[in-house]
Amino acid sequence: MPYGMGTAGWGNRPYGYGRGWCWHPGWYGAPVPLWGPPTKEDEIHFLEEQASFFREELSQIEKRLEELKKQGP
């Protein structure tokens, strides 16, 4: 066991080690926020923003691909 770390030195970490103590194990996922799930309009707005972001990212990737193809080997 390295440097007196006990069993945590070998990867056997106690519950909550490294991410703080919480009431639910990590495999449960995050609890629902106190203000509840987003409304339908909020979710639509969020998804539209996300789609716009990904379209912009994709256009930049395609532009870079075209530049690389024009350069040749």
What's phi and psi for 11, nearest 5 deg? 95, 0
Please, are residues 25 and 15 in contact by the beta-carbon 8 Å criterion? yes
Max Cα separation, the chain? 59
Q: Domain residues of the chain, as ranges?
A: 2-71
Please, are residues 20 and 14 in contact by the beta-carbon 8 Å criterion? no
pLDDT tens for residues 21-65? 555 555 566 666 677 888 899 999 999 999 999 999 999 999 999
- Within 10 angstroms of residue 22's Cβ, the number of other Cβ atoms is 12
Name the residue with tokens 């194990």: 25
Q: What is the pTM of this model?
A: 0.49
pLDDT of residue 1: 46
